[in-house]
Structure formats: structure tokens, C-alpha cells
Structure 1
Amino acid sequence: MLTFAAAVFFLIITPGPGVMTTAGFGAAYGFRTSLPYVLGLFIGTNLVMLSVMTGLAAVLLSVPGLRLALMTGSVAYLLYLAAKIAFAGARIAFMEAKTAPGVPGGIFLQVINPKAYAVNSSLILGFNYAPESFLFEMVTKALILNAIWVPIHLAWLWAGVSLHRLNLPARSQRALNILMAASMLGVVALALWSAQQVRL
């Protein structure tokens, strides 16, 4: 179980669409206003986890047309987020957005987030520490995942808020935007590569 918890920590803390947008919205809108978005991410990641536990994700992703549609939607949305970051001007990511993110946006991102499926699949289907009791293992895995997920995402949100408070020069903020956007594009590239491997 401790090995599982360690794997959860290292897989969730690594930058992906969820944590990067959490930090970006924290920098743009502040902690309290961005909490609904994080709540949406939380609901979304639990929906993905439930779909992996029940086998629904495997069934849905086995349909070539549906898998392609989900991958296309995921890549398009990640490209959109990368563009929002890159073209935020002299402001830290998402500063130019007109409305604060909300619960639906967080849910949507997680449902189409390839990292969410990859992480949940490796954690839920691997690390079988209670093979004699499937229900016990699934319940404890869900509790451990959420117990680690919540503070990590709140920490990323606080990091974004703290970054904004640094009041960096405009040039540094532009460079940070480009770096964040490039990281998002890296996630897109990994998603496309993963889809290509599945087809092969």
C-alpha cells in the first residue's frame, strides 16, 4: 500500500494539463475564485477513476471511432489552452480571460485528459496489494488517490497565486507564458504519440 501511495504522489505531482491549468488559473484569478475549477478537476478525475475501475473506460476506448473522437477533442482543447497561455501577453497565464473558470471546465478537461486515463489505469490496474478482496482494494485506492490528489492540486493553485504576487517584469512573464505553453504542447505530442502506438 505504501508503494502504491508513493506511485500516486509521483504520478500526480508531475506537470500535466490539470496541474498546469490549476497554477495558471491561480495566477490569473486568485485562490478562492479558482477553487470551483479545481473542484471540477476533482469530480472529473474521480469519474475517470470510476470508469477505469468498472472497465467502462476500456470498453469505450476499444471503439476506434470513439477513441479517435476523444483524442481529437483532447488535442484540440489542449492546443486551445496552450494558445491562451502563449498569447496572454505580458501577464501570467490566462490573465486576459474574461471569465473565471468553473466546475464544468474542470470536469471537461479531466474527461478528455489523456494523462488522467493513463495515470488512473496504471494505478488502479497495477499495484495489486489485496487480490483476495477487490472491493477493499478499490475503495482504499480511491481514498489514497483522493487524499494525495487534493493537497497536490491545492499546492499547485497556491504556487500560481504566489507566482502572480511576485509581480515579475513583463518580459519575464511573457517568457513564463511561452514556457508553460510549450509544456502543454509537449503533453499534446505525448498524447499523439501514445495514440499512434495504440494503432500500431
Structure 2
Amino acid sequence: MLTFAAAVFFLIITPGPGVLSTAGVGAAFGARAGARYVGGLFIGTNLVSLAVVSGLTAALLADDRLRTVLFFASITYLAYLALRIAFAGSKVAFIERQNPPGVLGGIVLQAINPKAYAVNTALFTGFNFWPQSLATEIALKFLIVNAIWIPIHFAWLWLGITLQRMNLPTRVQRIINIVMASSMMAVVLLAAIAQN
């Protein structure tokens, strides 16, 4: 169980679309809007987990044509987000918008986030630790994942808010945007490599 918890921690804390966008929403819109967005991400990641555990994801991805369409749609959107972050200019921001993405934005991001599917597939199909009952193991995994997921995402939200309050020099803010965009593009490239 400790190995599973460690895997959850390291798989979730690494930069991906969810945590990077959380930091960006915090930087651009503050704590209240960021908390709503994290709520959407939370719902979305648990829906992805349920789709993986139930076999729905496997059933949908069994059709090569549908898998290809979904893959390119998610990769295109994530690349678009990465470019928007990279070209946000001298302000640390997820994307320049008038309104925060909200709960629905968080749900949608997780629904198309290849990292969410890869992480949940790895966590729920591997790391067996309760051979007596698969149902108990899955329930425990949901509890452990969420107990680690929530504070990590709020830490990234706090980081985004803190970065914005620090009023960093223009050059430093540009570097942060480029690092965030590069991290997101790394997820896109890893997903593309895994697809082949």
C-alpha cells in the first residue's frame, strides 16, 4: 500500500495539464476561481478513474478509429494550451481570458487529458496490495488517490497565487511560462510516443 501511495504522489505531482492549469488559474484569477476549477478537475479525474476501472475506457479505445480521433483531439487541445501558456507574454498565466474556466472547464480538461488516463490506468491496474478483495482494493485506491490528489492540486493553486503576488520581473515570468508550456508539451510528446 505504501508503494501505491508513493506512486500516486509522484505521478500526480509531476507537471501535467491538470496541475499546470491549476497554477495558471490561481495566478490569473485567484483562490476562489481556482478552487472552483480544482473542484472540476477533481470531478473529472474521478470520472476518468471510474471509466478506467469499469472498463469503459478500454471498450472505447478498442476501436482504432475512435482511439485515433480522441487521441488527436486531446493532443491538439493540449498543444494549443501549451502554446497559449508559452505566448502569455510577461505575465504568469494559464491563458489570457476574461472569465475563469470554472468547474466545467476542469471536468473537460480531465476528460481529454492523456496523462489522467495513463496515470489512472497504471494505478488501478497495477500496484495490487489487497488480494483478498478486488472491490476493497479499488475502494482503498480511490481513497488514497483522492487523499493525495487534493492537497497536491491545492499546493499548485497556492503556487500560482503566490507567483502572481510576488510581482516577479518580466523576464522571470516569461521563463516560468516557457517552463510550464514545455512541461505540458512533454506530456503531449510522451502521449504521442506511447500511442505509436
Query: TM-score normalized by structure 2?
Result: 0.96
Match of 2:17 in 1: 17
2: distance between equivalents of 1:108 and 1:176?
A: 25
For the Cα contact (< 8 Å) 1:27–1:160, is it kept in 2?
yes
Match of 1:46 in 2: 46
5 Å matches for 1:51-200? 51-94=51-94, 96-196=96-196
For the Cα contact (< 8 Å) 1:86–1:93, is it kept in 2?
no
Query: Which amino acid in 2 is paired with 1:175?
Result: I
For the Cα contact (< 8 Å) 1:29–1:95, is it kept in 2?
no
2: distance between equivalents of 1:3 and 1:79?
A: 32
Greater than 4 Å deviation, 4+ residue runs: none
2: distance between equivalents of 1:11 and 1:177?
A: 22
Provide, for residues 138-180 of structure 1, a one-character-per-residue CA deviation record: whole Å limited to 9, x for no partner. Answer: 1111011111100000001001111111101112212221221
Q: CA deviation at 1:29?
A: 0.8
2: distance between equivalents of 1:158 and 1:94?
A: 14
For the Cα contact (< 8 Å) 1:84–1:93, is it kept in 2?
no
Give the match's secondary structure for 2:7: helix
**Sequence identity (%):** 61
Q: CA deviation at 1:118?
A: 0.8
1: distance between equivalents of 2:29 and 2:159?
A: 13
Q: CA deviation at 1:95?
A: 6.0
For the Cα contact (< 8 Å) 1:88–1:95, is it kept in 2?
yes
Unpaired segments ≥5 residues, structure 1: none
Give the match's secondary structure for 2:23: helix
Provide, for residues 87-117 of structure 1, a one-character-per-residue CA deviation record: whole Å limited to 9, x for no partner. Answer: 2121112363211111111111111111111
2: distance between equivalents of 1:48 and 1:95?
A: 24
- How well do the aligned residues superpose, as a CA RMSD in angstroms? 1.2
Query: Which amino acid in 2 is paired with 1:108?
Result: V
Provide, for residues 37-65 of structure 1, a one-character-per-residue CA deviation record: whole Å limited to 9, x for no partner. Answer: 11111011101111111111111111111
Q: Quick check: 178-187 or 23-32, which moved more?
A: 178-187
Query: TM-score normalized by structure 1?
Result: 0.94
Provide, for residues 118-153 of structure 1, a one-character-per-residue CA deviation record: whole Å limited to 9, x for no partner. Answer: 111111111111122111111111011111100000
